[in-house]
């Protein structure tokens, strides 16, 4: 862990929480070992293989039949959110390097977006590509990198953004002031981009078509936990990896005097600052009205802090932070 950066906290009142419906019975969890730790996101390739990125920079693909992992490339940074494009290339959000793209056919790794408006991307978080080749991606915060994500939580500033990269390479910012912008996906009809704010505890839609085009409307808010990466299921539902319940200490600190949080940040070791609580938690929301369609919640001694989710061949795969391995259960 490098030296902690300076923070500039603000008073912020976290949103209230509304309980979700009771969870469905959770099937047995199957763990899959992979080389490396903290496979933050999971995506599925056209051949059914499951791809993820671990904290040392490697991108790993898992065979859908035997579960055998293989390393396919190394970003040299910290890969986070992943997404396959229509032509089979892999988008990689790297907290150190920006928005990348990897071609499995040629093994070429290229940088698509390293900076926006003259400043480097600090915390590229998640991405998705539409059928016209436009890429939508999030930056969790423009002030800190992944290694110091707790700084953004304690600071309580809305310093995240939703952006787009057009096929000609032009990059524009669609929304700013987001509270830890994270997962992003397209609705099945591509009428809207759905994005998550982890500390804002909500899902929102940025409309691409229709009467609301160019505006943002809520899909699900006042969530009782922190949404992380998201994906669109086979029936159009929005799968959301809920990394943790809300943290009572963080909620208590955010509205209070910034000097208190500045002091805690300066005096306490990073590992002693508020942490997410381990849980295996995935929710499926209706993409039209935000209703909870499915909810799986359990605890497992070998897996927790689910940060990525993807539906593939009757299974729901999950990535994680702060630990080894992937997991899935059969739907």
pLDDT tens for 189-218 read 999 999 999 999 999 999 999 999 999 999
Report the Cα 42 to chain-centroid distance in Å: 10
**Region at 46 (left for phi over 0; alpha for psi -120 to 50; beta for the rest):** alpha
Single out the residue of 130, 137, 192 nearest to residue 167, CA to CA.
130
Classify the C-alpha dihedral 171-59-318-180 as positive or negative.
negative
Query: CB-based contacts of 115: which residues, under 8 Å, 6+ apart?
Result: 98, 121
What is the signed CA dihedral for 220, 224, 227, 231, rounded to 10 degrees?
Answer: -50
Any idea what the Cα angle at residue 261 is, between residues 256 and 263, rounded to 5°?
Answer: 130
Query: What local confidence, expressed as pLDDT, does residue 30 receive?
Result: 95
pLDDT tens for each residue of 256-311: 999 999 999 999 999 999 888 899 999 999 999 999 999 999 999 999 999 999 99
CA dist., res. 150 & res. 148, Å (int): 5
Say if residues 52 and 75 touch (Cβ distance below 8 Å): no
The third-level CATH classification (topology) of the domain covering 29-245+278-330 is Neuraminidase (2.120.10)
What are the residue ranges spanned by the domains of the chain? 29-245+278-330
Residue 66: CB atoms within 10 A of its CB come to 7
Count of H helices and E strands in the chain?
3, 26
Low-confidence ranges of the chain (pLDDT < 50): none
Report if pTM > 0.95: yes
Identify whether the C-beta of residue 40 lies closer than 8 Å to the C-beta of residue 308: yes
Residue 1's pLDDT is 53
**Distance separating alpha carbons of residues 196 and 227, to the nearest angstrom:** 6
Using the 8-state DSSP alphabet, how is residue 289 labeled? T
Residue 162: name the closest of 254, 230, 111 by CA: 230
Structure confidence at residue 66 (pLDDT): 77
**Could you tell me which of 122, 128, 93 has the C-alpha nearest to residue 230?**
128
* b/e burial code for range 126-152 (CB count within 10 A of at least 16 → b): bbbbbeeebbbbbbbbbbbbbbbbbbb
Q: Which residues pair with 186 in a beta bridge?
A: 193
């Amino acid at each position: 862990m490098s030296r902690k950066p300076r923070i500039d906290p603000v008073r912020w009142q976290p949103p209230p929480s509304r309980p979700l419906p009771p969870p469905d019975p959770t099937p047995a969890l199957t763990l899959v070992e992979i080389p490396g730790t903290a496979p933050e996101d999971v995506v599925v390739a056209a051949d059914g293989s499951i791809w993820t990125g671990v904290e040392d920079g490697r991108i790993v693909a898992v065979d859908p039949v035997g579960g055998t992992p293989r390393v396919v490339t190394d970003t040299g940074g910290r890969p986070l959110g992943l997404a396959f494009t229509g032509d089979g290339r892999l988008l990689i959000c790297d907290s150190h390097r920006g928005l990348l793209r990897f071609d499995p056919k040629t093994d070429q790794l290229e940088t698509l977006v390293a900076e926006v408006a003259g400043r480097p991307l600090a915390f590229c978080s998640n991405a998705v590509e539409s059928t016209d080749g436009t890429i939508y991606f999030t930056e969790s915060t423009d002030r800190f990198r992944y290694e110091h994500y707790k700084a953004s939580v304690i600071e309580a500033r809305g310093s995240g953004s939703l952006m787009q990269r057009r096929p000609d390479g032009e990059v524009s910012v669609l929304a700013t002031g987001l509270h830890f912008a994270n997962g992003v996906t397209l609705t099945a009809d591509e009428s809207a981009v759905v994005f998550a704010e982890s500390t804002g505890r909500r899902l929102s839609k940025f409309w691409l078509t229709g009467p609301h085009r160019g505006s943002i409307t809520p899909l699900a808010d006042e969530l009782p936990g922190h949404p992380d990466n998201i994906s669109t299921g086979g029936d159009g539902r929005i799968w959301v990896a809920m990394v943790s319940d809300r943290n009572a200490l963080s909620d208590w600190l955010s509205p209070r005097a910034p000097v208190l949080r500045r002091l805690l940040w300066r005096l306490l070791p990073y590992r002693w600052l508020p942490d997410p609580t381990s849980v295996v938690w995935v929710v499926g929301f209706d993409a039209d009205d935000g209703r909870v369609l499915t909810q799986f919640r359990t605890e497992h001694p070998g897996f927790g802090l689910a940060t990525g989710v993807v539906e593939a061949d009757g299974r729901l795969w999950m990535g994680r932070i702060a630990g080894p391995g992937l997991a899935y259960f059969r739907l």
